Amino acid sequence: MHIFRCFTQIRRLTKMTSLESAKKTAAHTAVDLHVQNNTIVGIGSGSTVVYAVERLAERVKAEKLKVQCVPTSFQARQLIVQHKLTLTDLEINPRLDVCIDGADEVDNNLTLIKGGGGCLLQEKIVASCARELIIIADYTKNSQKLGDQYKKGIPIEVVPMAYAPIKTQIENLFGGAVELRMAKAKAGPVVTDNGNFILDWKNFQQDYNWENVNTKLNLIPGVVETGLFVKMAKKAYFGLADGSIKEQV
C-alpha cells in the first residue's frame, strides 16, 4: 500500500515537471521568435506567461533590447515591474507589435477559451490592439473542440448587479449550467481586476458557431466580455511532453 502511494506520488510529480517544462519551452519559443529590438509587447496573464517574462528579461539584459510592455492584468503588471522591464499602456502605445498570452483551451480553428485566471477583459482588449496574438501553452490545452479538455467552463465577465439574470438568460438561450465563480481565500465571489464578477458556463454543446455565440453573449445587458477569443490568435505554440514544440496556425 505504501509503495503504491509512493509510486502514485512520483507519477504525479513527474507529470507536474513535464507540464512546467512544456510551458517553459512554449514561452521561450514565442519570446525568441516574436520579440526583437523596439518591439511593443502585450504581456498576458497566468502561469505560462511567467516563463515568457523571465525569458524576455533575460534577452533584454543580454541583448540590450529596447522593449516596452503592456500588461493585461494586475499580475502581468507586477511581473513587468519585478523583472525591471519597461512598463507602458494603451494610452501611450495604442498599437502593439505582438501580444503573448496563455489559454485554457485552443481548438483546431485557434478559437480560445481564456479567463481561467479571471483576466479575460484586459487580455482581450490588449490582444485586439496587437498585430499578432501568440498563444503559449502546454500540451493539455490542445483540443479538437472547445470543452474536450477544459471542463471548468467558458468564463464570462459581468457587472455584479446583473449576474443572476445573465445566468438565467444564458442557460435559457444555450443550455448548460452557469455558475458564479467563488473565491478560494475570501468569502463570496471572485472580483476581477475591473471590479466585476465571473460566470463560468459549463456543459455547453460543442458544435456551436463560436463567433455567433460570442456576439449573442456580448449583447446581453450586463455582460462585459467573454472568454471566447474567436479569430484573434495568429499562432499557438504548445510545449509537448517529450520536450518538443507543436505549432498551430
Beta carbon of residue 3, minimum distance to ligand 5RP (angstroms, whole number): 33
Does residue number 71 form part of the binding site for ligand 5RP (CB under 6 A)? no
Distance CA 56, CA 65 (A): 9
Q: Give the residue nearest to ligand 5RP (CB).
A: 46
**Short-list 206, 237, 14, 16, CA closest to 110:** 237
Does residue number 114 form part of the binding site for ligand 5RP (CB under 6 A)? yes
| Contact status, residue 171 vs residue 232, Cβ threshold 8 Å | no
Does residue number 44 form part of the binding site for ligand 5RP (CB under 6 A)? yes
105, 123, 157, 225: which is the annotated catalytic residue? Answer: 123
Query: Taking contact as CB under 6 A, which single stretch among the options 31-39, 97-105, 159-167, 210-218 is the one that binds ligand 5RP?
Result: 97-105
Choosing from 25, 29, 45, 214, the residue that interacts with ligand 5RP (CB under 6 A) is: 45
> Is 225 noted as a catalytic residue in this protein?
no
Size of the site for ligand 5RP (CB under 6 A): 17
C-beta of 150 vs 208, nearer to ligand 5RP = 150
Choosing from 120, 130, 154, 213, the residue that interacts with ligand 5RP (CB under 6 A) is: 120
Does residue number 42 form part of the binding site for ligand 5RP (CB under 6 A)? no
Beta carbon of residue 61, minimum distance to ligand 5RP (angstroms, whole number): 24
Does residue number 196 form part of the binding site for ligand 5RP (CB under 6 A)? no
C-beta of 106 vs 178, nearer to ligand 5RP = 106
